[in-house]
Chains A and B, each alone.
Chain A
Amino acid sequence: MPIITGIQKYSIHDGQGIRSTVFFKGCPLSCSWCHNPETQNYQRQLSVDEERCSGCGKCLKGCETECIQLEATRTQTDFDKCTACGDCADYCYQNLRTVIGEEYEVEKLVDLLKRDEMFYEESGGGVTLSGGEVMTQDMDYLETLLKKLTLLGISVNIDTCGYAPYVNFERILPYVDTFLYDVKVIDDQKHRHHMGVSNTLILENLERLALAGASLNIRIPVVGSVNANSQDIKAIVDYLGERKIQPVQINLLPYHNTGSGKYGRIGKEYQGETYATPAAAEMDDFAKLFTGAGFTNVKIGG
C-alpha cells in the first residue's frame, strides 16, 4: 500500500479552486533542489528537528534500537539504525519528533478527501495527487482511488514528474481532470546530472498524453544555475511548439529554498545551497518567451 506523508487542505495553487493535495511518498527522481525531500524514499521515516532540541533526553526512554545519542545541548539521531517505530515521539514534549508516512486504506483516504467536498464544489476545485511521485505507486490502489473519487464527482489532478511507464498513465487517464506535468530541462545530459535520470521517458509520456487529449498544465521549476537561462527555457518553448503540445496553462515556478530546513531533520544534506532564486524581471523575460511563441495562460508562480 502506498505511503502518504500528508494531506494538505485549502491548497489553492495546485490547479483550479480549493483543493486537497495528497502527498505520496517515494520518487524515482532525486532533484537536487527538491522541496519535499521527505517524499523521496518509499518508506516511513523519522523526522527530528534537532535544531530546536533542548537536550532533555526524555526521548531516549522511548527508543529501543538505541539510535539516539545525547550530546551537550541536543540529541543526535542515527537515521541508519532508526526503524521509524515512532515511540520516541510520545516522549518529546517539544513535539520535535515525528514519523513521516502513513498508510490509508482507499476507503479511509476517500473519506478524508470527501470532507472538503463543499469547498471543491463552490470553488471548482477538487483533489490533487502529488508527491513524491504518484505515478510510481501501487497502480491498483491508485486506480481504485481515482474511480471512487470520480464516482463522487470529485475532480482529480495528478501532479507528476512523468517518469513512470506509460501504461500507468493509460490506466488512470479516464479519471484525471488535469495533469500538472513537470518539465525541467530538455538537455538530457543536464537532466541526468540534476535529476539523476534521463528525460527520454518523461518527454515521451508527455507527447503521448498530449496525443491522447489529456488536459495538461506544464509546470517548470526555474532554478538558478540549472535552467534559469533563456537557452534552456527556449528549448522547452521550442519543444512544446514543435510537437504542437498545447497546455491549458504553463506555470513558471521560481526556485525557492523553502524545503532546505527539512533535509537535516531526516539525516540528509541539502545540495541546493548554491542555487539562486531568479529575479522577477528575469522570470518575466522567460514568460515572454512562451507568450512570444503563441502560448497563452502563462503564469509565474503556482
Chain B
Amino acid sequence: MNERVKRLRQESLDTQAHIDMARAKSMTATYEKYEGSVSIPELRALVLKEYFSTKELYLGEGELIVGEKGDGPQAAPTFPELCCHTSEDMHVMNDRELINFKVKNADYAYQEQEIIPFWEKRSIRKKILSNMTPAWKDCYEAGLFTEFMEQRGPGHTVGSAKIYEKGFLDYQADIDAAIANLDYLNDKEALDKKSELLGMRIACEAVMILGERYRELALTMAAKETDEKRKEELLQIAKNCEVVPAHKPQTYWQAIQMYWFVHLGVTTELNPWDAYSPGRLDQHLIPFYKEDAKAGRLDDEQALELLECLWVKFNNQPAPPKVGITLKESSTYTDFANINTGGITPDGENGVNEVSYLILDCMDEMKLLQPSSNVQISRKTPTKFLKRACEISRKGWGQPAFYNTEAIVQELLNAGKSLADARCGGTSGCVETGAFGNEAYILTGYFNIPKILELTLNNGFDTVSGKQLGLKLGSAPDYKSYEELFAAFKKQIEYFVEVKITGSNMIEEIYAHYMPAPFLSIITNDCIARGRDYNAGGARYNTKYIQGVGIGTITDSLAAIKYNVFDEKKFSMEELIAAMKDNFEGHERILNLVRNKSPKYGNDDDYADDIMKSVFKMYHDTVTGRPNMTGGFYRINMLPTTCHVYFGEVMMASPNGRLAHTPVSEGISPEKGADTFGPTAVVKSASKMDHLQTGGTLLNQKFTPSVVAGEEGLTQMANLVRTYFNMDGHHIQFNVIDRQTLLDAQAKPEEYKDLIVRVAGYSDHFRNLSKALQDEIINRTEQAFN
C-alpha cells in the first residue's frame, strides 16, 4: 500500500460517522417547489437533480476517484421520505454506544422544526405502518418476522457490464426512443410509462451535472495546485469527468470513476438495502486493463492503487442510520456492497484474470469491512486463485467469503433466468443470488422459525408479548406423536408466512406508487424498454425473498423432542415444558440430555439432518412460488445478518437447551457448540439442505489458527471449500478465531464444544484441555500468522 492509499484509508477509518442533513433539506425544498405539478417519478428524479446541482462537493487531498454522497467521508444523509426520524431517534443515534452517528446541534432543531412537520405523515414508514393488518403488527412487534422496507428502500441489486458500455447521454437517447414509441392508442399504461421515462431522463441529467461539477472543481483546484504531480492528477480527474458519466469510459481509471458516479446516483436517490455494488468487477474491468496496458498507460501498481482508492470510497459510506427493530436485524455500519471476484465469464469459461488477482491483493492490503470482498469459486477456477483467497481468509478478518459459481448458476436457472443472465450473476448483500443488472431481488424480512415452534407448543400464545399470535391448534401435551407436532408446526408456519406476505404485498404497492427509483431503473434491464420503474416490476426478473433464520436451533429443538420424548422416552413432554418454563433451572438432567446427549445438526448425523431437511422443505414449499405484486415470485434464502440475536431475544428457552433470550443459530450454521465432529461433518450436514432451491445460504466455519496454519492447513482449507462446493454448497466463510474468543471459550466451554485446537502433531477439543494448556494456547494464538 503506498503513502497516498495509507493516508486515505486511515482517514476513512478515523472519521466519525455523522448525520448530514443537506440532502433532506434539498429534498424538502424540491417537494415544496414541485409536488403536485409534476408526476411522482419526475418529482423523485428532480430530488436527485436538485441535490446533485447544489450539494457541497468533496474532493479530498490525494483522491483519485471522486464523489461523496454527503459532505465527505463517513457522512450519512437521511431519507425522511422513507423514515422520518423522531427527535428521540436523533438523540439515540447520536448517543448510542455502538453504530452511532453524530448529530450537529443545529440539526436537532432543524429536524424538529422543518423535517418532522413536513415528513412525519408522508413518510413511507408511516404509510406502511398505518396500512398493516393488526395480525401483521402484533407479529412484527413480537419478533416473528422483520420488515426490510420500513426504513430503507428496496435494493439488493448489483451493476452489470452495462454500466461500462454506455454513457448517460446514450441512455437519454434510449429513453427518448422509448418515449417516442409509446402506444397511446392501445396501451392503457402509456401515460404512466411516459412519466416514468421522463423521470429517468431527468435522473440522467442529475448524474451528468454531478460529473460536470466535479470536472469544474478539479480544474479550479488544478489551477491553484502548486505540486506539479498533484496538478497533473487533478487535470486527469477533470478529463475523466469530461468523459464519464456522460459518455462511456475509455480507460480503466474512467471505468472505475464511472462505476462510482453510478453508485452515488443509486445510493443518493434512495437508501436501498445493500447499497449498490459493481458485482463482477474483475470481469468488467479486464477489457480496460488490457487496453490500457497495451497502450502503456497503466501498470499493475497503478491498477492496484486505483482499486484501493475505490475501496476507500466504499468504506467512506456507512450504512444509512437505522433505528428500532431494523437496527436490531442489521446492527452494523457495513452496507454490504459485495464484490464477487473470479467465477466464470459470460461464455462459461474460467473468469479469473489479472484484475482478479489484483483485487485479492487489494483486499489483503486494505483489510476493510467495506466493500465486502469475496470470491466466486467455480470448478474451472485455478487452485492457485483459491489458495490465494484461503491465504487471505485465514488471517481471520472474515474476508473473502467463498461462493460457489455452479450453485449460483443453477439457482438462477432454477428460478427461471436465462443461462446468459445466470452466468453474469452472482451474490450480493450477504449471500443473495441475483442476476446482476437484470433483476430486482428484494429481501422482505427475516422469519423467526424457532419462535414458531415455541408458539406451536403453546397453543399459538406468545408468553413474551402476552398475545395470542398463532392458531389455536393445541398445546405441547396434546401432540401424541412427533408427526402430530410437526403437522401443527407446519400449519402455524403457513399461517405466519401468509401474515408476512399480506404485509409485504401492500408494501410493494406502496413503493411502486409513491417511491419509484428512476435512476436505478436506468441501469437495470429492462426498465427503459418496459417504461416501468425498478420498484414497480420494471426489471427483467422480479423476485421477493423471505429469509429463514434459526435452522440449527429449530432442528436441534425438534430432534431433542423426537429423540427424548417420543423415541427414547427419557422424559415426558410435560417435564420438558416445565423445564423450559423455568429456563432449565432445577432441571439439570433434562438440560444435560437435550444439550449434550441428543442428536444435533452439524454432525453429519442423519437423525438430526433429516429433521433439518423436513423443516427446510416445509418452509421452502410454503413460500416458494407464491406470486408477488411485481410479476414475479416469492422465494427463500437462509441468512441472518445480526437478526439471530434479536430473534433469540424475543424467545423463551428452546427444547434443545438454548436458554431464554439468547441468540438462535445463525445462517445455516449449527447451533453454538452443537457440532462436535469438525468441519467436514458440518459441511456434510449443511450440504443435505437443497441449496439450489434457495436464493442463498450462509455457512460460517470457525477455525483456530493452528488448524489452518502452514501449507498443509492451507491446502486442506482449499480442499474443504472444493468439496463443499462439489456437494452444491452455496457459500462458506471462515472465522479464524482470535485470542478473545479463546478466552471466552475458556470461560464458557459449553458454548464452544466445537472448537478444535492443534498442538504439535496432535489435535484436541479446546474444552478438553487443562486450564494451563488452554492458557498456553491462548498466548500463542496471536502470533500464528504474523
Give the interface of A toward B (CB within 8 A). 7-13, 17-18, 20, 35, 51-52, 56, 58, 89-95, 115-116, 118-119, 121-123, 251, 253-262, 277, 301-302
Contacts and interface: CB of A to CB of B under 8 A. Distances in A.
Interface in B599-623: 604
Contacts of B569: none
Contact of A261 (B679, B723, B769): B769
Nearest to B749: A52
Given A119-B680, A122-B722, A258 B716 contact: no
Interface of B: 588-589, 591-593, 595-597, 604, 677-681, 684, 707, 712-713, 715-716, 719-720, 722-723, 726-727, 749-750, 756, 758-764, 768-773
B762 A51 contact: no
30 contacts: A7-B677, A9-B679, A10-B679, A10-B707, A10-B716, A10-B756, A11-B763, A12-B713, A13-B763, A18-B680, A51-B770, A90-B592, A90-B597, A93-B589, A95-B592, A95-B750, A118-B726, A122-B722, A123-B716, A123-B719, A251-B761, A254-B761, A256-B762, A257-B773, A258-B764, A260-B770, A261-B768, A261-B769, A261-B772, A301-B761
A58 B758 contact: no
Best-buried of A12, A51, A89, A95 by chain B (most CB within 10 Å): A12
Contacts of A258: 759-760, 762, 764, 769, 773
B759 A256 contact: yes
A248 B6 CA distance: 48
B727 A18 contact: no
B51 to A, nearest CB: 53
Nearest to B679: A10
B768 A262 contact: yes
B762 A18 contact: no
A92 B590 CA distance: 10
B707 to A, nearest CB: 8
Contacts of A277: 760
A218 B148 CA distance: 60
Contacts of B769: 258, 261
Contacts of B715: 123
A9 B677 contact: yes
Contacts of A262: 768
Nearest to B595: A95
B268 to A, nearest CB: 46
Given A13-B761, A119-B720, A122-B722, 11 more contacts: A9-B678, A9-B680, A12-B712, A90-B597, A93-B588, A94-B592, A115-B684, A118-B727, A123-B715, A254-B760, A262-B768
Nearest to B712: A12
Contacts of A122: 719, 722-723, 726
A9 to B, nearest CB: 5
A261 B595 CA distance: 24
A116 B716 contact: no
Contacts of B681: 9, 115
A201 B720 CA distance: 40
B29 to A, nearest CB: 61
B716 A253 contact: no
A52 B762 CA distance: 23
B719 A119 contact: yes
Contacts of B595: 95
B678 A95 contact: no
A293 B640 CA distance: 58
A277 B759 CA distance: 12
Given A13-B763, A90-B593, A257-B773, A18 B684 contact: no
A10 B589 contact: no
Contacts of A119: 680, 719-720, 723
Given A18-B720, A123-B715, A256 B760 contact: yes
Contacts of A17: 716, 719
A25 to B, nearest CB: 17
Contacts of A257: 773
A56 B720 CA distance: 42
A101 to B, nearest CB: 16
Contact of A13 (B596, B680, B712): B712
A20 B681 CA distance: 11
A258 B758 CA distance: 9
Contacts of B750: 94-95
Nearest to A261: B770
A80 B478 CA distance: 47
Contacts of A118: 723, 726-727
Contacts of A51: 770-771
Contacts of B773: 257-258, 260-261
Contacts of B596: 95
A115 to B, nearest CB: 5
Contact of B762 (A35, A58, A115, A116): A35
A262 B769 CA distance: 8
A13 B758 contact: yes
Nearest to A98: B596
Contacts of B720: 10, 18, 119
A92 B593 CA distance: 9
Contact of A91 (B589, B677, B726): B589
Contacts of A253: 760-761
Contacts of A52: 749
B723 A90 contact: no
A58 B763 CA distance: 32
A14 to B, nearest CB: 9
Contacts of A89: 597
A58 B716 contact: no
A10 B678 contact: yes
Contacts of B763: 8, 11, 13
A18 B476 CA distance: 44
A93 B592 contact: yes
A52 B595 CA distance: 18
A183 to B, nearest CB: 15
B589 A259 contact: no
A270 to B, nearest CB: 10
Nearest to A92: B592
A253 B761 CA distance: 6
A8 B726 CA distance: 22
B687 to A, nearest CB: 9
Contacts of A115: 604, 681, 684
Nearest to A263: B770
Nearest to B708: A12
Contacts of B591: 93
A121 B727 CA distance: 13
B684 A302 contact: no
A116 B759 contact: no
A10 to B, nearest CB: 4
B760 A301 contact: yes
A116 B680 contact: yes
Contact of B684 (A56, A92, A116, A121): A116
Contacts of A91: 588-589, 592
A9 B760 CA distance: 17
B776 to A, nearest CB: 9
B584 to A, nearest CB: 8
Contacts of B726: 118, 122
Best-buried of B712, B760, B769 by chain A (most CB within 10 Å): B760
Nearest to A254: B760
Contacts of B707: 10, 12
A47 to B, nearest CB: 9
Contacts of B762: 35, 256, 258-259, 302
Contacts of A116: 680, 684
B465 to A, nearest CB: 30
Given A12-B713, A116-B684, A58 B678 contact: no
A57 B764 CA distance: 28
A122 B596 CA distance: 32
B672 to A, nearest CB: 14
Best-buried of B592, B758, B761 by chain A (most CB within 10 Å): B761
Nearest to B770: A261
Contacts of B592: 90-95
Contacts of B716: 10, 12, 17-18, 123
